[in-house]
């Protein structure tokens, strides 16, 4: 029995590129649009990238003025929490006083 081996596939010839097709009448407009869009993206994204780089750079150390302000705000928050507790207690006392004033007095009923 004789085995037939498939013949090798011939290589595909390269597609010829005509340089005249690259530079047509519309090419300068397309190139200008691409350059303008790249320039616009650079102008828009440059400040964002710089801010992001600064944030990464300062992530390790903390600013002493910022730390002092945070401590001051935490102290003020503690004071506010104390005042909230006092207001809640005053609300409870006011509710109690209103309930007591709204009840009919027993002494008046006993004397009648």
pLDDT tens by residue, 34-82:
899 999 999 999 999 999 998 888 776 677 888 899 999 999 999 999 9
Total domains in the fold of the chain = 2
27 vs 88, which has greater pLDDT? 88
**What pLDDT score does 38 carry?**
94
| Domain housing 90 | 62-106
Quick one: average pLDDT of 10-29? 71
Residues 39 and 72 occupy one common structural domain? no
Residues 48 and 75 both lie in one domain: no
Q: Map tokens 């002092």 to a residue.
A: 68
| pTM, entire model | 0.38
Residue 88 above 80 pLDDT?
yes
24: tokens are 């047509």
Residue 65's pLDDT is what?
Answer: 86
Interatomic CA distance for residues 63 and 54, integer angstroms: 13
């Amino acid at each position: 029995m004789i085995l037939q081996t498939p013949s090798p596939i011939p290589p595909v010839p390269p597609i010829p590129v005509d340089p005249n097709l690259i530079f047509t009448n519309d090419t300068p407009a397309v190139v200008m649009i691409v350059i303008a869009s790249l320039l616009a993206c650079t102008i828009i994204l440059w400040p964002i990238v710089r801010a992001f780089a600064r944030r990464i750079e300062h992530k390790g150390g903390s600013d002493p003025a910022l730390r002092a302000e945070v401590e001051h705000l935490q102290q003020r928050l503690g004071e506010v929490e104390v005042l909230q507790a006092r207001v809640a207690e005053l609300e409870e006392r006011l509710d109690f006083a209103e309930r007591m004033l709204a009840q009919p007095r027993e002494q008046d009923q006993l004397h009648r």
